[in-house]
Amino acid sequence: MDRRKFLQTTGLTLGAGSLPSLVPSVLRAEPPASTPAAAKFPAGFLWGSATASYQVEGAVKEGGRGVSIWDTFSHTAGKTANGDTGDVADDFYHRYPQDIEMMKQMGLKTFRFSVAWPRIFPNGTGQPNQQGVDFYKKLVDALLAAGIEPYCTLFHWDLPQVLQDQGGWESRDVAKAFADYAGYTAGVLSDRCKHFMTMNEMRSFCEIGYADGRHAPGLQIGRKRMAQLNHNVVYAHGLSVRAIRAHAKPGVKVGLADNVEAATPVIETPEHIEAARHAMRELNAMYQTVIQEGRYTPHYLKTLGDDAPHFTQEELDVIKTPLDFVGINLYTAHYVRAADNEVGYVSVPAPESYPHMYSPWLTIGPEALYWTPKLVSEIWNVKTLYITENGCSSADKIAEDGHVYDTDRVMYLRNYLTQLHRGVSEGVPVKGYFCWSLLDNYEWADGYDKRFGIVYVDFATQKRTPKLSAHFYEKVIADNEVK
């Protein structure tokens, strides 16, 4: 059977045109009576996608934007794959109206974006840049006009370089500057945007940027300084929650997007489930645990010894400022098993043969999307959760017929969403899901080699091509269920 006849029998078309052209008729057809029941989500469940400013915007020298640590880092020889930078990225700064139209065609209910701190305060503090403010106002207005609810992240790693020169997150003054920036930005956008996240993935930008040195600002500062930096970051988060509430319009909801270490029982037996419960608190002691509980676990402080951070009770109270919701960024599972030791668990490392996506670190563990929100909700009594990132990298190519058949990503999403539904059906309070990412984009130190988008981007021409995964996701949204 030739390729054309095969595609005809499966309902796929050869055209590479508009968004619906890739949706096969077999997906649109009513399922036969023998098909197992689909995983239906509650009415009103929010389906969305997510991006980040430096990864998509480009226009780094336009609109009064200042220099960020990622501008500096990516332009330093040897720091990124192929020397790639975010100078142009997806050119979202200019192309967001077309991208929003594409989101609307997909049926997205919500969109998570981040504000570039250097667009609002080019020098980190001082006089705000009105051009930057106006850009985000126009972006949010365009989303609302398309019927898409905006969710705003205030820090997704593009720290103003001026502030890094003053000590970066090692400085308490920078923590206070972040609160000032967050409060001001939420204040000017809160007449349009009702959901704000303070920071994205504290663990990532702290540990990869300041301990490993693989991300901006590219430092390796040692354990003692790292412990204090981590404390300064969660303190900055707490200060910013208070600043947002002080400056934003009434009714605004405040949370964060945290890549919690996804403690997952290696086998679902009572002893391993209990081990995962202990692990969730200890593995996240310096981030989510102290934010939720207002204290560091004794084991965490004992492990650090003389390297433990200096802090006051007043700072812990600020860090514990209550949140309206918690966002979870989740890609992989951290498997644990029960153990007769001080913490009640040990980690189970993945064997060399463990399946993973195109990024070597992205091992496949769908059940983490069941256990992580479940444990976060139960341990800390969190009433509203969102999956603020979930997705995967793939070595996507455009086929001869003009389509992108990322069947691996469809497999990944279907399995993870099935596990998410398992939790939601049991009452875990997840209210929405943001697929990472809408577009192939600048993947930090990996440059443009690792593609995470459900929309393919030809970075030479900026042409967008929705992938098979985009049409799979479109179907999930339309039916509010996973099949």
- By annotation, the residues acting in catalysis are 201, 389
CA distance 41 to 84: 40
Angle of the 223-247 helix axis to the 172-189 helix axis, nearest 10: 30
Task: Provide the 3-class DSSP secondary structure of residue 198.
Answer: strand
CA 208 from centroid of its chain's CA atoms? 16
- Report CA dihedral (413, 419, 420, 425) to the nearest 10 degrees: 140
- Residue 202 falls in which region: left (phi positive, over 0), alpha (psi -120 to 50) or beta: alpha
Beta-strand (E) ranges in 95-209?
A: 110-114, 149-153, 195-200
54 phi and psi angles, rounded to 5 deg:
-65, -25
Dig out the tokens for 334 from the structure: 């951290």
Report the SS3 class of residue 71. Answer: helix
Name the residue among 231, 257, 71, 91 with its Cα closest to residue 159. 71
Pairing state between β 39-40 and 481-482:
antiparallel
CA distance 446 to 359: 9
Structure tokens at 185: 């930005």
